[in-house]
């Protein structure tokens, strides 16, 4: 463990994927960077463990090699409910299924190699006029980056509060030893709950169960999703069940003249979108650019733009999850029009601007918005 210095140009609070990506991006811009976290590495967390294609591209932009033995590529999304199946491939870059500790180690090793000073087991207890209080001492710094997650302590210290939050949901995760039967991420639906199946290795998958019910249990998976239960009937668990809450949160602001928030500390999108990690990695590059220009207002504006589509998609997918008739109509339409699904998926992963989609795609999206009551939601997403 590195010793905490008395000074740093950039101090990152939080050593999860968002904090490590921010540290790497700032270091690539030539800043002296210190990262402090109260935890010890590697850090695990209950999540679906899929990095969408825009997140893979962002990692590569940071100089981080991904793929090969570090994960399992997936090439599209398959939506399943009973006999209804709709699927589409990503345009260009594949996504990556990767165990969270493996991703964390990869980021940590790259940060250390880049010259980031990482101080594990070092809690940051407060902000002060010149920097932060950390590890029982004062550390002077020009910039502070809050990357300490959905329940950030840095956020209220900086006077940055959620302007809007969705109702939190429950997420459970477990791994199983079984050869992946597809190179897609499968999303199995039923009313108010979803299961994400992500291949994370040649003989292992990650199961993430999301829902609104307080009594949600991984043990009930086979009863809730019989088709998936039959596939997993003889698969051996390779990890214990881990749980967390998920939801969408939007802040009024994420930066001031000396502090910026990133990742879930800066606002989150429900895990139903699969975009949490990708957003954090894209934010890291933009934040480093703003630091190099000595103007965090650039990051504030870009952060708002980056979150628009994921926030809208989260609202629409959650609305679809709660309305059987609408969900079934949407799945039937996407199954019969795979090209439309492909173009919507391209917008979702940032490979296609919404303005560039064809009129038939716009028509489908608009009809879906109208059916879900989401037109007003779309107008209200900043």
Q: Does 315 have pLDDT greater than 60? A: yes
- When pLDDT is cut at 50, 70 and 90, the band that residue 66 belongs to is confident
pLDDT for residue 381: 43
pLDDT for residue 355: 63
pLDDT for residue 377: 43
Q: Tell me the average pLDDT across 287-315.
A: 93
Query: How many Å separate Cα 71 from the centre of its chain?
Result: 17
What is the percent of the chain with per-residue pLDDT over 70, rounded to a whole number?
Answer: 92
At residue 349, φ and ψ (nearest 5 deg) are -95, 10
pLDDT in tens, 131-186: 999 988 999 999 999 999 999 999 999 999 999 998 899 999 999 999 999 999 99
pLDDT for residue 369: 52
Tokens of 83: 């006999």
Model pTM score:
0.91
Q: Tell me the average pLDDT across 271-291.
A: 95
pLDDT for residue 370: 57
Tell me 235's DSSP state: P
Question: Among candidates 265, 266, 251, 262, which has minimal Cα distance to 161?
Answer: 251
Instruction: Give the mean pLDDT of the chain.
Output: 89
Q: Does 46 have pLDDT greater than 80? A: yes
* CA torsion, ordered 50, 287, 261, 107, to nearest 10 deg: 40
Q: Does 304 have pLDDT greater than 60? A: yes
Helical (H) or strand (E) element with 344: helix 338-348
Tokens of 40: 């010890």
pLDDT for residue 365: 56
Q: Which domains does the chain have, with CATH numbers?
A: 7-69+99-165+249-307 (3.50.50.60), 310-380 (no CATH)
pLDDT for residue 208: 96
* CA torsion, ordered 46, 50, 52, 58, to nearest 10 deg: 70
Rounded distance between C-alpha atoms, residue 91 and residue 2, angstroms: 42
């Amino acid at each position: 463990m590195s010793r905490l210095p008395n000074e740093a140009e950039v101090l990152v609070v939080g050593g999860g994927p968002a904090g490590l990506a921010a540290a790497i991006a700032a270091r690539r811009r030539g800043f002296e960077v210190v990262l402090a976290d109260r935890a010890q590495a590697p850090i695990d967390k209950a999540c679906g463990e899929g990095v969408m294609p825009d997140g893979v591209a962002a990692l590569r932009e940071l100089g981080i090699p991904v793929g090969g033995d570090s994960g399992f590529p997936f090439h599209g999304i398959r939506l399943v409910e009973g006999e209804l199946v709709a699927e589409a491939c990503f345009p260009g870059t594949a996504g990556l299924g990767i165990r969270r500790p493996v991703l964390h180690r990869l980021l940590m090793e790259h940060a250390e190699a880049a010259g980031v000073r990482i101080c594990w087991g070092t809690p940051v207890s407060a902000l002060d006029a010149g920097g932060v209080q950390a590890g029982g001492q004062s550390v002077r710094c020009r910039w502070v980056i809050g990357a300490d997650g959905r329940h950030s302590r840095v956020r209220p210290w900086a006077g940055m509060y959620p302007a809007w939050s969705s109702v939190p949901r429950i997420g459970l995760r477990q791994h199983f030893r079984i050869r992946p039967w597809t190179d897609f991420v499968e999303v199995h639906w039923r009313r108010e709950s979803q299961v994400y199946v992500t291949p994370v290795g040649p003989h292992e998958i990650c199961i993430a169960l999301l829902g609104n019910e307080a009594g949600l249990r991984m043990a009930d998976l086979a009863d809730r999703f019989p088709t998936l239960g039959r596939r997993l009937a003889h698969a051996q668990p390779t990890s214990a069940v881990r749980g967390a809450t998920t939801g969408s949160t939007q802040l009024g602001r994420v930066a001031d003249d000396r502090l910026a928030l990133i990742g879930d500390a800066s606002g989150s999108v429900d895990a139903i979108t699969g975009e949490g990690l990708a957003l954090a990695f894209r934010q890291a590059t933009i934040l480093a650019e703003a630091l190099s220009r000595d103007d965090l207002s650039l990051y504030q504006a870009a952060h708002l733009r980056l979150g628009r589509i994921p926030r809208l998609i989260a609202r629409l997918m959650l609305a679809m999850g709660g309305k059987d008739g609408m969900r079934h109509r949407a799945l039937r339409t996407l199954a019969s029009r795979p090209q439309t699904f492909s173009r919507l998926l391209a917008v979702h992963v940032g490979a296609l601007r919404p303005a560039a989609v064809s009129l038939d795609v716009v028509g489908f999206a608009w009809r879906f918005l109208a059916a879900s009551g989401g037109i007003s939601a779309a107008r209200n997403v900043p």
